[in-house]
Structure 1
Amino acid sequence: MAINGLPALICALILAGAVFTAVVWWAWPRLAGPGARPVFGRIGLQLVLALAMGLPLLLAVNGGYGFYSSWHDILALSRDEPVVSGDPGADAVRVQGTHSWRYLGSDDPAVIGRIEAVTVRGARSGLNGQAYVHLPPEFLRASAEQRARFPVVLALSGYPSTTRVLIDLFHYPRLALDAVRSGAMRPAVLVMMTPTVAPPRDTECVDVPGGPQVETFFARDLPAAVAGHYGLTRDPRGWGVMGNSVGGYCALKLALRAPESYRAAAGLSASYAAARDEETGELFGGDPVRRRESDLLWRLRALPQPPVSLLVASSRKGEKQYPQTLEFIAAVRPPARVSSIVLDSGGHNYETWGRELPPALEWLVGRLRVE
């Protein structure tokens, strides 16, 4: 039973109702009265009741925000072991199936394109990544030569999250088709992923010493694998990356640290340095130089800047990283370029990102050129 499905939520509601009824009508009267045993019994019942009543709420929140995609994500104990790819001679992109969806009442690929569920196998990093790839209808009817001229956007979710939120909550494919229909954007191939390719650890897209090589996966493995499988360009001027929250940090960092792979990036509510908490663990092996080099504000101020186009989005009210966003904008200098989306009010949530995403996607594709 899927953790994000309606059946799981219904079962949790039924369980909560049954537990509440049992506690009120049966257990509580039997534990009335003084004495240590009844008191501890009532405490235990309150804990059981709180857990049972809280489970539907937790499932509903998870369904809306996509923190976990399966029960395994919650129960997983390993933090450092990457998912190792199999036969290195096999196709680096393996199509697992096609995602069913509709747009403007149609499910015809000639109208809405095709979304493929794929596994990307990292030859250098040894990591596997699950992705959805949206091939627009123009791509499906294009020749091989024409396909090599399509821009490519890597879209990253936050942490914790799942790849499905990029389709179900962010609506990346629908927004792309809307923009193409209105003439605001030309067709682009979308590669949609979560940055968590070594679950459940939040690696902040870092090559962890002795651990998962996540930056290598996104900077080198993924562009080579996807371009090779779909016949896309490997010119970095045709590749862009964007994301929200941790995904936004990853996007900006990939452009600044790997301009040979991505020449444009957009970060929505992005942080500007790698976090350090229970979910990340020690990402840099205790090396302060490694940590400093992943600090984007430090990089902009201390190192030569690459010829990349960057977009940052924040809100004057509701975003705690707004002051750092202003610092980031002020620190960018040629040959790098920076644009911004600044809302009067917003927050670190899907409602805010939903307002920022359409112009950010159009901006990003508009910066990609394949010659």
Structure 2
Amino acid sequence: MFQLTGNFILIASTILAIALPILAAVLWSRKPPASGGRPVAVLKFLGRIGLILVAQVTAMAALFFYVNDQYGFYASWSDLLGLGHDTPARIVQVNELHPGTGKLEVLNVHAKSGVSADTLVWLPPGYDASGSTRYPVVMFLPGQPSHPQNLFNEYDFGDVASQAIAAGTVRPFVGVFPPIMIAPPRDTECVDVPHGPQAQTWLTSDVPAAVQAKYRVEPPGKHWSLMGWSTGALCAAKLTLGHPTEFAAAVSLAGEFDTYLDNTTGDLFGSNTQLRNENSATWLYHQYGMRGTKLLMISSKQDEWAWIATEKMAQVTRGDPAVSLITFPAGGHNFHVYKPYISTALDWLDRAGSLG
């Protein structure tokens, strides 16, 4: 009931944020009783100040819960409070999907990168563990900080993908949702950090190996593709350009194309200029081109976080038939704005050939 990303806490905090100022106004409009002296007056004053403070804190909390719901910054109370002990948050419960929209499973990956983490796996309608058909894979990377289950839920991925498959616009595929925040609260930007978290190895080697070991999927290569949201979009673009034999196509939803450093990342490169270059999609494109891969960039022109970087990458790749661009005029950096483009992205991946 009191999950950080649940509707209950958002609705309850919003109701309280509205009700407390109304309650204060009602109490203050009442005719005061006969004076009980200075101590009573002081208590009344302090009570009013306390009520004002509680109302303000509640309003700020309601705003935080709303923004977190839109952006998926924190998946749980332990994420918010920094109690994850430097390990990715576990997926403790998987929501039931609507009938006919596939099946959702949790795959625990124990990896050579040193990471042990839960990865969400979506199996399309008709997937049969005992069958012989091998499925293409779409690996969808969340933002930072965020969580695979937030990404899946906020984009209604099971419903959207199942509808596209049923309509015949997309061939059946397996969806894989790994965490990219493998050493919380540090933002690794999907980099193999010298003497630190091996985030790129986790995504390009460990997760694919674990998925192949359990599910009937095609091997990495022409039938594996990446989608990413926000920081996950940066990862999707640079991993595809940097690993063209493992991933055939990438979709960037509101992403940047150059890894940056700040107080949440720390030193990711250890003063290694070449490593920094190899973690820039822009540099990789300048150096090697698309190398047989394809890229779709999707960005709102009002999304300041993503639009400047997307426009720059569009100029760099202008005229390249392997690069596509979808822009729209309005909307900020949140799930709600980009949700209508999930089906568009899947359709593009199918036409790009990475889904079969």
TM-score range, shorter chain: 0.7 to 0.9
Q: Does 1:337 align with 2:322?
A: yes
Which residue of the partner structure matches residue 126 of structure 2?
138
- 1:267 is paired with a residue whose SS is strand
Which residue of the partner structure matches residue 255 of structure 1?
240
Q: Does 1:346 align with 2:331?
A: yes
Q: Does 1:62 align with 2:68?
A: yes
Q: Tell me by how many angstroms 1:326 deviates.
A: 3.5
- 1:341 is paired with a residue whose SS is strand
CA contact (8 A) 1:249 1:270 kept: yes
The CA deviation string for residues 44-69 of structure 1, in whole angstroms up to 9 with x for no partner, is 87655532432233223323432211
Q: Tell me by how many angstroms 1:178 deviates.
A: 1.1
Paired with 2:67 and 2:74, the residues of 1 have a C-alpha distance of 10
The CA deviation string for residues 163-205 of structure 1, in whole angstroms up to 9 with x for no partner, is 2233322111111111112221111111123422222222111
Which residue of the partner structure matches residue 357 of structure 1?
342
Which residue of the partner structure matches residue 101 of structure 1?
97
Q: What amino acid maps onto 2:61 in structure 1?
A: L
Q: Does 1:278 align with 2:259?
A: no
CA contact (8 A) 1:269 1:321 kept: yes
Which residue of the partner structure matches residue 91 of structure 1?
none
Q: Structure 2 vs 1, CA of residues 82 and 260 (structure 1 numbering), >3 Å: closer, same or farther?
A: farther
Which residue of the partner structure matches residue 159 of structure 2?
174
The CA deviation string for residues 75-121 of structure 1, in whole angstroms up to 9 with x for no partner, is 11678x4569xxxxxxxxx997753121xxxx3xxx33211123222
Paired with 2:194 and 2:303, the residues of 1 have a C-alpha distance of 35
Which residue of the partner structure matches residue 151 of structure 1?
136
1:311-322 mapped onto 2 (5 Å cutoff): 311-319=296-304, 321-322=306-307
Paired with 2:40 and 2:22, the residues of 1 have a C-alpha distance of 10
Q: What amino acid maps onto 1:329 in structure 2?
A: A
Paired with 1:280 and 1:164, the residues of 2 have a C-alpha distance of 23
- 1:256 is paired with a residue whose SS is helix
Paired with 2:40 and 2:10, the residues of 1 have a C-alpha distance of 26
CA contact (8 A) 1:96 1:118 kept: no
Gaps of 5+ in 1: 85-93
Q: Does 1:125 align with 2:137?
A: no
Q: What amino acid maps onto 2:106 in structure 1?
A: A
- 2:126 is paired with a residue whose SS is helix
Q: Tell me by how many angstroms 1:343 deviates.
A: 1.7
Q: Tell me by how many angstroms 1:126 deviates.
A: 1.1
CA contact (8 A) 1:117 1:132 kept: yes
- 1:137 is paired with a residue whose SS is coil
Q: Tell me by how many angstroms 1:272 deviates.
A: 0.8
Question: Which deviates the most, 239-248 or 165-174?
Answer: 165-174
The alignment of Structure 1 onto Structure 2 pairs a total of residues equal to: 344
1:1-371 mapped onto 2 (5 Å cutoff): 1-9=2-10, 12=13, 29-30=41-42, 49-76=55-82, 81-82=86-87, 99-102=95-98, 107=99, 111-122=100-111, 124-140=112-128, 143-144=131-132, 146=133, 148=134, 150-303=135-288, 305-319=290-304, 321-332=306-317, 337-369=322-354
Q: What amino acid maps onto 1:58 in structure 2?
A: F
Q: Tell me by how many angstroms 1:73 deviates.
A: 0.3
CA contact (8 A) 2:88 2:179 kept: no
Paired with 2:227 and 2:313, the residues of 1 have a C-alpha distance of 16
CA contact (8 A) 1:253 1:294 kept: yes
Q: What amino acid maps onto 2:125 in structure 1?
A: P
- 1:238 is paired with a residue whose SS is strand
Q: Structure 2 vs 1, CA of residues 55 and 346 (structure 1 numbering), >3 Å: closer, same or farther?
A: closer
Q: Tell me by how many angstroms 1:356 deviates.
A: 2.1
Q: What amino acid maps onto 1:129 in structure 2?
A: A
Paired with 2:188 and 2:165, the residues of 1 have a C-alpha distance of 34
Gaps of 5+ in 2: 29-38
Q: Structure 2 vs 1, CA of residues 83 and 351 (structure 1 numbering), >3 Å: closer, same or farther?
A: closer
Paired with 2:267 and 2:22, the residues of 1 have a C-alpha distance of 43
Q: Tell me by how many angstroms 1:263 deviates.
A: 1.3
Q: What amino acid maps onto 2:127 in structure 1?
A: F
Q: Structure 2 vs 1, CA of residues 164 and 307 (structure 1 numbering), >3 Å: closer, same or farther?
A: same
Q: Structure 2 vs 1, CA of residues 159 and 83 (structure 1 numbering), >3 Å: closer, same or farther?
A: closer
Q: Tell me by how many angstroms 1:269 deviates.
A: 1.2
Q: What amino acid maps onto 2:59 in structure 1?
A: M
Q: Structure 2 vs 1, CA of residues 332 and 200 (structure 1 numbering), >3 Å: closer, same or farther?
A: same
Q: What amino acid maps onto 1:154 in structure 2?
A: M
Question: Which deviates the most, 274-283 or 183-192?
Answer: 274-283
Percent of pairs identical after alignment?
Answer: 34
Paired with 1:76 and 1:290, the residues of 2 have a C-alpha distance of 29
Q: What amino acid maps onto 2:285 in structure 1?
A: L
Q: What amino acid maps onto 1:366 in structure 2?
A: R
Paired with 1:29 and 1:119, the residues of 2 have a C-alpha distance of 61
Q: What amino acid maps onto 1:213 in structure 2?
A: Q
Paired with 1:28 and 1:197, the residues of 2 have a C-alpha distance of 55
The CA deviation string for residues 18-65 of structure 1, in whole angstroms up to 9 with x for no partner, is 79969977x9952678xxxx8xx9988765553243223322332343
CA RMSD of aligned residues (A): 3.6
The CA deviation string for residues 205-257 of structure 1, in whole angstroms up to 9 with x for no partner, is 11122221111000111111101110311141110010121111111011011
CA contact (8 A) 2:171 2:355 kept: no
